[in-house]
Amino acid sequence: MVQQDNKQATRVGLFLNPIGPKRAAFQATCGEQFGRLLLADGAAQASLLLAQYTVDLLVIDLECFDRGFDLVPLGQLIKQRAGAPTLVICPFTNAGWLPALMPFGPLEYGIAPMLGDELAALVAARPGAARSPAAGAPQLRSLMAAAASVQAAIADVDDLQKLTRQLCGALAGIPGVAHAALFYPNDAGHLQLAAQHSGRGLDLARILPHADQLLESPMRHAFPGLLAAATGDMSLLDAPAKAGEPELARALADNGIGMVLGVPLPARREGAPRGSLCLMFERARQFSADDMGSFIALAQLAGCALRMAEMGRENELLLGRLAHLASTDVLTGVANRRHGEYQLELEAKRARRYKLPLALILFDIDRFKAINDQFGHAVGDAAIRTVSAAVAGTLRASDVLVRSSGEEFQIIAPHTSATDALKLAEKIRAAIAATDIPGCDRVTISLGVGQITDHESADSLTVRVDAALARAKRAGRNCVELARQ
């Protein structure tokens, strides 16, 4: 006991924080553990004190420091220590400080806010120099194995939902991890719980409100997974009670969770919403620089895989859109001539192979040139759109309406005989005659109808039906003619 008192009497400490009340609070809480306690409000003053005194313990409280400005000066202090004991007090909301400072030299850390006498206990524990490399080797090996599992999980997976599930399954295999979750923005940019894997039956969807827009959740300032996505910074909660949300702390504790780590995923682009990995551990533990680096690498790997899956989905949508544009008439939205020719050839082959009836109807708008000349091309375009829409409304889902050119259309009618096609054509003719056309009088159409024969080609059928259409126009228009064999 006397020996311990003597050590305290000669022990020199240095506490660094820019806020006066914080320095006073540390002195009140831990001052008795030192024979001499030095206080500094900035890195420059602390560096001078380190040069002047043999400091047994440097304590850096990161609250109110700015990583953008203060990282290098604070890192230089750790480097100046040359392995001597350094304790960093890091807010749980800004745990990205830790992997940023660790390359400067060995340190141990505590996570703020401190509960009860936690700070005094940390200082009394006399943090030592870095752990030996052998001490962290098993944990590092397990993280390397997890990285290999993640790589295996994402290999050749292009489905986003499947990928997120497999990622969480691989991350849950890290020793000590009781639950792994992945938060990711949906197409609208709203953060959602994309997937989770639990060995304890924990369901985050029951704990976190506003499931469709998690960044609107009241837990966004308390739960590390949401914090990491919202701020783009790592968040480390080494005791659920530190979150300041009793219900959240109780739910985590009831499920055997002692520590929660949130690691942000890379943003898809500047200013874009980001996601996060969330790992929940059975108990709190200290992470080394290698551990932190592994977690960041896992997040980068996951982010890359997710982006690749997204790009694959976007490419599929783009290809679908391009295919639609290539096969669709711009003015009317129905099939264009090229797609119509392909579709007719396809149906003709099917009809011949399975001995099925196939009918073709050709029609055009009567005296369409006069409409353009009298009312203008804008009215002519409106007439084409109106006729197309009216005809489409009379067809079955299996029928294909095609705009062949100008005012000319065709209807490919599978499983339809000539008799039924004549009835359909007459129905269409009557519907158009009764349809109002914006900007001009009503219009009429002339139609030709034909059924494919056993050995007839699509081109031959088209020629026969086109001849029937010509007869309908010669017969006075606004009528239907059946193609001759």
CATH number at residue 22: 3.40.50.2300
From residue 364, alpha-carbon distances to 63, 398, 445, 447 in Å are: 78, 21, 6, 7
Closest-CA residue to 82 (of 98, 58, 60, 62): 58
Q: Which of 104, 147, 164, 195 has its CA nearest to residue 291?
A: 147
CA 134, 140, 141, 144 torsion-angle sign: negative
Q: Are residues 367 and 244 in the same domain?
A: no
In this structure, the answer to whether residues 277 and 416 fall within a common structural domain is no
Q: Tell me what pLDDT residue 142 has.
A: 66
Residues 278 and 173 grouped into a single domain: yes
Per-residue pLDDT 10s for the chain (485 aa) are 434 455 566 899 999 999 999 999 999 999 999 999 999 999 999 999 999 999 999 999 999 999 999 999 999 999 999 999 999 999 999 999 999 999 999 999 999 999 889 999 999 986 654 444 444 555 656 666 666 766 776 666 667 788 888 888 888 888 889 999 999 988 888 899 999 999 888 999 998 888 788 888 888 899 999 999 999 999 999 999 999 999 999 999 999 999 999 999 988 777 778 899 999 999 999 999 988 998 998 898 888 888 877 777 777 778 888 888 888 999 999 999 999 999 999 999 999 999 999 999 999 999 999 999 899 999 999 999 999 999 999 999 999 999 999 999 999 999 999 999 999 999 999 999 999 988 888 899 999 999 999 889 999 999 999 999 999 999 999 999 999 88
Domain boundary among 124, 150, 167: 124
Question: Is residue 351, in this structure, part of any structural domain at all?
Answer: yes
DSSP string across 321-336: HHHHHHHB-TTTSSB-
The answer on 296 and 416 residing in a single domain is: no
Separation of alpha carbons 238 and 333, rounded Å: 59
Rg of the chain, C-alpha, whole Å: 37
Number of folded domains that form the chain:
3
| Pair 158, 277 in one domain | yes
Q: How confident is the model at residue 325, as a pLDDT?
A: 81
**110 occurs within a structural domain:** yes
Distance of CA 174 to the CA centre of its chain: 24
For residue 292, the one-letter residue type is M
Domain that residue 88 falls in: 2-124
Say whether 281 sits in a helix, a strand or coil. Answer: strand
- DSSP letter for 215, please: G
CATH assignment at residue 224? 3.30.450.40
Residues 304 and 175 in one domain: yes
In the β-sheet with 57-61, what is the strand arrangement from edge to edge? 36-40, 12-16, 57-61, 86-91, 108-112
Please count the other Cβ atoms lying within 10 Å of the Cβ belonging to residue 273: 16
Residue 44 is assigned to a structural domain of this protein? yes
Whether 309 and 353 share a structural domain: no
Indicate whether 361 belongs to any domain.
Answer: yes
In angstroms, rounded to a whole number, what is the distance separating the alpha carbons of residues 327 and 340?
A: 8
Same domain as 98, residue 72: yes
Residue 331 lies in a domain: no
Residues 175 and 270 in one domain: yes
Task: Answer whether 0.85 is exceeded by the pTM.
Answer: no
Same domain, 307 and 375: no
Same-domain check for residues 57 and 106: yes
Assign residue 467 the CATH number of its domain: 3.30.70.270
CB 191 within 8 A of CB 293: no
Residue at a domain's end among 91, 124, 157: 124
- 65 near 86, Cβ under 8 Å? no
Evaluated on CA atoms 95, 97, 102, 105, the torsion sign reads negative
Q: Is 358 left (phi over 0), alpha (psi -120 to 50) or beta?
A: beta
Of 93, 124, 155, the last residue of a domain is 124
- Cα-Cα end-to-end distance for the chain: 117
pLDDT confidence of residue 68: 93
Considering the domain boundaries, does residue 96 fall inside one? yes
Instruction: For residue 439, tell me if it sits in a domain.
Output: yes
Q: How far apart are CA 147 and CA 164, in angstroms?
A: 15
Q: Are residues 401 and 439 in the same domain?
A: yes
Give yes or no for a contact between 300 and 205, defined as CB atoms under 8 angstroms apart: no
Contact 108, 90 (CB under 8 A): no
Q: How many CA atoms lie within 13 A of 346 on its CB side?
A: 9
**Residue 42: burial class (beta carbons within 10 Å; 0-12, 13-18, 19+):** middle
In a domain, 328, yes or no: no
